[in-house]
Structure 1
Amino acid sequence: MFHKKTISFFLFTIPLLLLSCKDNVLPKPSSYLRLDYPEARYANFENNCPFSFEINEKATIKADKNCGFSITYPKMKATIYLTYKPINNNINNLLRDAQKLTYEHVIKADDILEQPYINPDKKVYGMFYQVNGDAATNSQFYVTDSTRHFITGSVYFYAKPNFDSIMPAASYIKNDMQRLMETLKWK
């Protein structure tokens, strides 16, 4: 009936087929490191400059020339740069420069969201920009009292601008920048 070769073939092939009928192995999808940051605690920062504001206690602040500041987040490899300029009948030029600085990132940005900030009680008026995409900066702002003082701020990360990978840190610092704007007081 059956030849020896046929029987040998079935005896060898059937166990091989049964052993090979396991679930297909699929590669695991890429994942990202979950970054959790401590809850922000703020302290008032004041010196000889004509303004004060609140700063995250986890950040370090260094005074630059002409009441400018570098607010550094070493663990996130990021710095907020603040620049102060007195207004001398040049408010339109200062506003134009601040807006131009933001919109220079439009080449790499997916979207730029503008959030006006108005606090008539403290005489603080400005704009907060959230730059979405792989731009060099993710958040920028300017504030002014419209007569004497003008401040710009922007955050820069010391890493290749890949928004997906720096998003948790960018979000954390964005909240700190908004807090800085909201607590700014002119002297």
Structure 2
Amino acid sequence: MKHNILFFIVVAALFASCKDEVLPKPKAMLRLDYPTAEYTQAGSDCVYTFDQNMLSNIKENEDCSLVLDYPMMNGSIYLTYKPVHGNLDTLLVDAQKLSYEHVVKADNIVEQPFINQENGVYGMFYEVSGNAASQSQFYVTDSINHFVTGSLYFYAKPNYDSILPAAMYLQNDIRRIMESMRWKK
């Protein structure tokens, strides 16, 4: 009798376990939607202005260096201002060196030149892909008096797949900063 009950339990377990084949879930990315960017001109006592995303909070230092903090994305864009006093070559080399310090962890660094002759703004945008500390770097200058460098950093361990949506959103803001940069007279 015990063998019959044991036999029925084993047979029932086998039938219960015979279901459809288990398939792995397809790879997917977390969908993060951010609001459409709205811009206002960043007003400061500095020698330059630009369009600031209204989602960011601006913190100004006394040397015209700024931090655009994005609490919603846990990241910031750091802007550093340097006056040009015959040291443009040194400033350019330093900005390029800063961008290529990330090559150790980066999968790729894409350079995108920027030229706005009408407003006297020239620069370079560096898009960094991979698990680097900074996902974007840039510099803009008028080649005579002003030089601004910028870097995007997140307050998290670099994981490119996880921060990609926020990085893309903030890269668009960086491009807007470069395009709207104006030097005060």
Map 1:164-179 to 2 at 5 A. Answer: 164-179=161-176
Pairwise CA distance, 1:68: 0.4
| Residue of structure 1 in register with 2:20 after alignment | 23
CA distance in 2, matches of 1:173, 1:156: 10
CA distance in 2, matches of 1:154, 1:184: 15
Q: Name the aligned partner's letter for residue 174 of structure 1.
A: Q
Instruction: Identify which of 92, 97, 113 aligns with 1:95.
Output: 92
Q: Name the aligned partner's letter for residue 148 of structure 1.
A: N
Rg comparison, structure with higher value? 1
Pairwise CA distance, 1:45: 1.1
Instruction: Identify which of 35, 43, 48 aligns with 1:38.
Output: 35
Give the secondary-structure state (helix, strand or coil) at the position aligned to 1:175: helix
Return structure 1 stretches of 4+ with deviation > 6 angstroms. none
Map 1:45-84 to 2 at 5 A. Answer: 45-84=42-81
Q: Name the aligned partner's letter for residue 100 of structure 1.
A: K
Q: After superposition, what is the alpha-carbon deviation per residue over 1:114-171, rounded to whole angstroms, capped at 9, x for unaligned?
A: 0000011000000000000000000110000000000000011000000000000001
Q: After superposition, what is the alpha-carbon deviation per residue over 1:83-111, rounded to whole angstroms, capped at 9, x for unaligned?
A: 00000100000000000000000000000
Q: Name the aligned partner's letter for residue 181 of structure 1.
A: M
| Residue of structure 1 in register with 2:123 after alignment | 126
CA distance in 1, matches of 2:17, 2:56: 57
Pairwise CA distance, 1:16: 5.6
Alignment CA distance shift 1:54-1:24 (3 Å)? same
Alignment CA distance shift 1:21-1:135 (3 Å)? same
CA distance in 2, matches of 1:15, 1:78: 56
Alignment CA distance shift 1:21-1:42 (3 Å)? same
| Residue of structure 2 in register with 1:137 after alignment | 134
| Residue of structure 2 in register with 1:3 after alignment | none
Which residues of structure 1 form unaligned runs of 5+? 1-7
CA distance in 2, matches of 1:163, 1:95: 27
Q: TM-score, normalised by structure 1?
A: 0.89
- Is 2:149 aligned against 1:152? yes
Alignment CA distance shift 1:23-1:53 (3 Å)? same
Q: Name the aligned partner's letter for residue 155 of structure 2.
A: Y
Q: After superposition, what is the alpha-carbon deviation per residue over 1:52-96, rounded to whole angstroms, capped at 9, x for unaligned?
A: 100000100010131000100011110110000000100000000
CA distance in 2, matches of 1:157, 1:113: 19
- Percent sequence identity over aligned pairs: 56
Which residues of structure 2 form unaligned runs of 5+? none
Q: Name the aligned partner's letter for residue 167 of structure 2.
A: A
Count, aligned residues: 183
Pairwise CA distance, 1:24: 3.4
